[in-house]
């Protein structure tokens, strides 16, 4: 693993730069750039047969020599048996990891990637799989490898909505991009003067204009992009869809994709409890944020029920139309949830639980309740096998799951059972939860302003591959960008005024919720959690929204990444290894619900202070690395105190502060 030895110090630098700042000295060399070029070119036009001559030659055979692998596992043996007997999943078949046969095959190919000793073996296996394997299965296995292998994590995978754009865009845009013929367009647009729905961007630019590190629309950017034409197609939102600015947002859907890919296939049992805690907290955050959007749109949000959905307007990468969910899927999921709810009710009634091995445990004794939590509430979604998953359904695809309203109804039932179980059996916290000798005196919040801004999203992978090869040599002459509008907010700050009778360290957590209502019926969405020191006397602490943890901004596109890499190969650009944003961060621009246009949206901010016990730990979940667990400030559960149902009295006292706030929506340019 010589490449791994080279990249090990690079990984450490990346872990220290979560906020995406560009650090001098953290620069790629030619050895790295060669690997990066290989990866970007192999991932181009995944939905079409590979045309890359070198990879075609390299990919004639998978490496079968067992000595070239650190481990040769049973999934690899089974995969090789399928390969030898010609029974691998056909390339044209719709792939879904929730189908048992597909998951088994994915696991085998993943091991053929993950367990390689040398880059040469991995690159040959990648080329072979790109030529012979189902494209979606190949991408799933490769994505898992790049997320799981420490020594390859420095290599940059383009964002999933750039690799497989179809599920993240409207059918109209996907079909227009798929039917685009560059030669005919040039003839009609430039020679005949006919205007089409696809336009060349002049002067050359991409939106948003400002990215961290001055990576866009600068002189160096112009130099990098000098050989590529930028084309644009407008993507309009359905005006009747009240929630489309949230659930149709590519950042919203891709966040769910990445965190589930990150936690899948973990093999560290000692971290399972913390990861489960984190996963259910993230799910509750997604549901809370969705409910706040419904609240802002004056829709029912407290009780989410399943409703019949209209036909989907989304396409798979193969051009098939998704359906929301089949009757068989609905019945299967409803049965699973009903069984879980009965199990939780029975556990609460009897205070016991029968484990899968037949052992009956007393949930009141010791940490037995954690054994019950483990059995009742798994967190690895890749282990969920659905008999009807062979049909394209929005609800069963990580790409589209959050665009399906019934997802939130199912998730709400799951979370209700989870909180009920924890409220009944969770033992007392192992640390104090109320700091002493301090008080939150006041909280001041800058104006909360939302607006919609234009943004360009790279669609180049939908275009025909024939326009990107000349005499079997890969070229990138033009880039197609979807111009769409998305929710954004003005940066803001929260100022805390606190008093303390002594010097002490505390954790301050801030939650956004509705203007009124019973605590256990309202959604609480965490904006921030941070460590601070209080000194004796009065303390004023200002916290900028750009400092909130776990959030990311915008990143460069697939096209820009390729051309910056090409410029670096010519030694005309110092290629920073953190040139793109971490994949498992939540979009910072989506933390506020869309404000009121006429009358501001009334909400509340809840601030809770807890003691700091010097047991914080730093994980690397922002980069989808869960091998060493997740970050935490202390030993309290993630999302304290909303990991369970709470008593009203817990949210009262000098360590708690409620603040009425308003969110206003303005037109773009007026914000």
State the chain's mean pLDDT as an integer.
91
**For 614-630, what is each residue's pLDDT tens digit?**
888 899 999 999 988 99
pLDDT band of residue 11 (cuts 50, 70, 90) is very low
- Segment 570-576 shows an average pLDDT of 94
- Segment 408-425 shows an average pLDDT of 96
Residue 371 lies in a domain: yes
Residue 176 lies in a domain: no
The CATH number linked to 260 is 1.10.1280.10
The CATH number linked to 488 is 2.60.40.1520
348 and 453 in a single domain? The answer is no
pLDDT for the residue 586: 97
pLDDT band of residue 346 (cuts 50, 70, 90) is very high
**For 168-194, what is each residue's pLDDT tens digit?**
999 999 999 999 988 888 888 766 666
405 and 451 in a single domain? The answer is no
- Segment 213-224 shows an average pLDDT of 92
pLDDT for the residue 21: 37
Contacts 24+ apart (CB under 8 A), 365-370: 367/427, 369/421, 369/425, 369/426, 369/427, 370/273
- For 510-533, give the DSSP string: EEEEESS--GGGS--EEEEEEEEE
Out of 126-140, 281-295, 374-388, 517-531, least confident range: 374-388
Separation between Cα atoms, residue 95 and residue 78, nearest integer Å: 19
H helices of 481-593, in order, are 558-569
Separation between Cα atoms, residue 275 and residue 557, nearest integer Å: 31
User: Final residue of a domain: which of 133, 155, 177?
Assistant: 155
Residue 398 lies in a domain: yes
Query: For residues 64 and 79, is the Cβ–Cβ distance under 8 A?
Result: no
- Segment 505-523 shows an average pLDDT of 96
The answer, yes or no, to whether residue 386 has pLDDT greater than 50, is yes
CB atoms closer than 10 angstroms to residue 57:
9
634 and 538 in a single domain? The answer is yes
- Contact residues for 595 (Cβ-Cβ < 8 A; gap 6+): 296, 448, 449, 450, 601, 662, 663, 664, 665, 666
Reported residue count of the chain is 671
Residue 322 lies in a domain: yes
Residue 186 lies in a domain: no
User: Final residue of a domain: which of 155, 173, 201?
Assistant: 155
The answer, yes or no, to whether residue 7 has pLDDT greater than 80, is no
Residue 518 structure tokens? 């019973």
Separation between Cα atoms, residue 93 and residue 162, nearest integer Å: 21
129 and 276 in a single domain? The answer is no
Higher pLDDT, 291 or 303: 291
145 membership: H or E segment, kind and range: helix 135-148
Out of 109-113, 247-251, 258-262, 465-469, least confident range: 465-469
> Would you give the DSSP letter of residue 631?
-
- Segment 438-459 shows an average pLDDT of 97
Beta strands at 601-611 and 656-665: parallel, antiparallel or unpaired = antiparallel
- N- to C-terminal Cα distance for the chain? 51
What percent of the chain is predicted at pLDDT more than 70? 94
Angle ∠(345,349,353) on CA atoms, nearest 5: 75
pLDDT for the residue 5: 39
The answer, yes or no, to whether residue 598 has pLDDT greater than 90, is no
Domain of 35?
Answer: 30-155
User: CA gyration radius for the chain?
Assistant: 26
- Segment 343-359 shows an average pLDDT of 96
415 and 488 in a single domain? The answer is no
- For 222-262, give the DSSP string: HHHTTT-EEEEEE-PPPTT-TTHHHHT-HHHHHHHHHHHHH
- Contact residues for 105 (Cβ-Cβ < 8 A; gap 6+): 79, 82, 88, 89, 137
pLDDT for the residue 14: 40
What percent of the chain is predicted at pLDDT more than 90? 78
Residue 643 lies in a domain: yes
- Phi then psi for 51, rounded to 5 degrees? -115, -5
- Segment 293-301 shows an average pLDDT of 96
Domain count along the chain: 3
The answer, yes or no, to whether residue 131 has pLDDT greater than 90, is yes
115 and 257 in a single domain? The answer is no
381 and 269 in a single domain? The answer is yes
123 and 247 in a single domain? The answer is no
**For 549-569, what is each residue's pLDDT tens digit?**
999 999 999 999 999 999 999
Separation between Cα atoms, residue 431 and residue 44, nearest integer Å: 51
pLDDT for the residue 337: 96
408 and 493 in a single domain? The answer is no
Separation between Cα atoms, residue 565 and residue 576, nearest integer Å: 10
pLDDT band of residue 20 (cuts 50, 70, 90) is very low
pLDDT for the residue 192: 66
> Would you give the DSSP letter of residue 28?
-
Which of 507, 495, 498, 511 has the alpha carbon at shortest distance from 607? 511
- Segment 544-549 shows an average pLDDT of 97
> Alpha-carbon dihedral of residues 18, 486, 314, 45, nearest 10 degrees?
-50
User: Final residue of a domain: which of 125, 155, 185?
Assistant: 155
In the chain, DSSP finds a helix count (H) and a strand count (E) of 18, 17
CB atoms closer than 10 angstroms to residue 469:
15
Out of 80-84, 448-452, 645-649, least confident range: 645-649
Separation between Cα atoms, residue 631 and residue 638, nearest integer Å: 9
Residue 602 lies in a domain: yes
pLDDT for the residue 112: 98
In the block, which residue shows the tokens 């336009």? Answer: 199
pLDDT for the residue 242: 86
629 and 586 in a single domain? The answer is yes
The answer, yes or no, to whether residue 311 has pLDDT greater than 90, is no
CB atoms closer than 10 angstroms to residue 8:
13
Q: Of 47-51, 204-208, 578-582, which one has max mean pLDDT?
A: 204-208
- Contact residues for 14 (Cβ-Cβ < 8 A; gap 6+): 26, 153, 154, 577, 578, 623
Residue 442 lies in a domain: yes
370 and 410 in a single domain? The answer is yes
587 and 491 in a single domain? The answer is yes
């Amino acid at each position: 693993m010589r490449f791994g030895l080279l990249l090990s110090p690079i990984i450490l630098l990346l872990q220290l730069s979560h906020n995406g700042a560009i650090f001098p000295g953290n620069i790629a060399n030619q050895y790295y750039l060669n690997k990066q070029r290989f990866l970007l070119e192999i991932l181009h036009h995944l939905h079409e047969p590979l045309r890359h001559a070198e990879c075609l030659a390299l990919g004639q055979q998978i490496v079968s020599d067992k000595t070239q692998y650190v481990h040769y596992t049973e999934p690899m043996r089974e995969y090789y048996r399928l390969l030898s007997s010609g029974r691998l999943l056909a390339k044209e078949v719709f792939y879904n990891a929730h189908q048992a046969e597909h998951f088994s095959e994915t696991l085998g190919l993943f091991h053929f990637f993950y367990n390689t000793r040398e880059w040469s073996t991995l690159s040959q296996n990648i080329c072979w799989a790109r030529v012979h394997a189902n494209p979606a299965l190949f991408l799933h296995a490769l994505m898992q490898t790049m997320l799981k292998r420490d020594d390859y994590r420095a290599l940059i995978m383009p964002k999933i909505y750039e690799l497989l754009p179809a599920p993240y865009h409207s059918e109209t845009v996907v079909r227009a991009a798929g039917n685009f013929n560059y030669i005919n367009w040039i003839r009609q647009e430039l020679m005949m003067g006919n205007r089409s729905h696809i336009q060349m961007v002049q002067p050359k630019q991409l939106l948003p204009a400002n990215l961290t590190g001055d990576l866009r629309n600068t002189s160096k950017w112009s130099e990098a992009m000098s050989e590529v034409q930028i084309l644009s197609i407008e993507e309009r939102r359905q005006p009747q869809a009240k929630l489309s600015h949230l659930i149709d947002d590519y950042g919203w859907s891709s966040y769910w994709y990445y965190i589930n890919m990150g936690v899948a296939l973990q093999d560290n049992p000692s971290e399972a409890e913390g990861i489960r805690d984190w996963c259910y907290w993230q799910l509750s955050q997604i549901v809370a944020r969705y409910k706040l959007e419904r609240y802002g749109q004056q829709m029912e949000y407290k009780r989410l029920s399943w409703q019949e959905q209209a036909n989907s307007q989304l396409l798979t990468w193969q051009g098939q139309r998704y359906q929301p969910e089949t009757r068989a899927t609905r019945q299967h999921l409803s049965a699973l949830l009903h069984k879980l709810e009965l199990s939780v009710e029975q556990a609460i009634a009897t205070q016991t639980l029968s484990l899968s091995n037949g052992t009956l445990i007393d949930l009141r004794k010791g940490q037995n309740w954690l054994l019950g939590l483990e059995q009742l509430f798994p967190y690895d979604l890749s282990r969920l096998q659905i008999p009807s998953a062979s049909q394209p359904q929005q609800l069963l695809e990580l790409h589209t799951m959050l665009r399906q309203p019934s997802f939130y109804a199912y998730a709400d039932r799951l979370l209700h059972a989870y909180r009920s179980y924890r409220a009944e059996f969770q033992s007392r916290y192992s640390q104090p939860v109320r700091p002493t000798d301090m008080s939150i005196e006041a909280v001041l919040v800058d104006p909360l302003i939302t607006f919609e801004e234009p943004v360009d999203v790279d669609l180049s992978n939908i275009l025909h591959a024939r326009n990107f090869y000349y005499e079997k040599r890969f070229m990138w002459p033009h880039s197609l960008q979807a111009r769409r509008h998305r929710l954004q907010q003005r940066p803001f700050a929260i100022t805390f005024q606190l008093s303390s009778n002594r010097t002490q360290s505390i954790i301050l957590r801030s939650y956004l919720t509705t203007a009124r209502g019973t605590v256990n019926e309202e959604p609480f969405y965490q904006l921030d959690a941070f460590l601070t020191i209080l000194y004796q006397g009065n303390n004023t602490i200002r916290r900028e929204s750009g400092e909130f943890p776990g959030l990311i901004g915008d990143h460069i596109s697939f096209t820009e990444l390729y051309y910056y890499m090409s410029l670096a190969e010519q030694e005309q650009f110092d290629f920073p290894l953190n040139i793109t944003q971490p994949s498992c961060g939540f979009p910072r621009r989506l933390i506020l619900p869309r404000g009121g246009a006429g009358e501001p949206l009334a909400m509340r901010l809840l601030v809770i202070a807890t003691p700091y016990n010097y047991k914080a730990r730093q994980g690397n979940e922002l980069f989808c690395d869960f091998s060493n667990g997740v970050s935490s400030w202390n030993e309290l559960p993630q999302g304290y105190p909303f990991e369970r149902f709470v008593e009203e009295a817990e949210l009262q006292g000098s360590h708690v502060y409620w603040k009425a706030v308003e969110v206003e929506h303005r037109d773009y340019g007026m914000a």
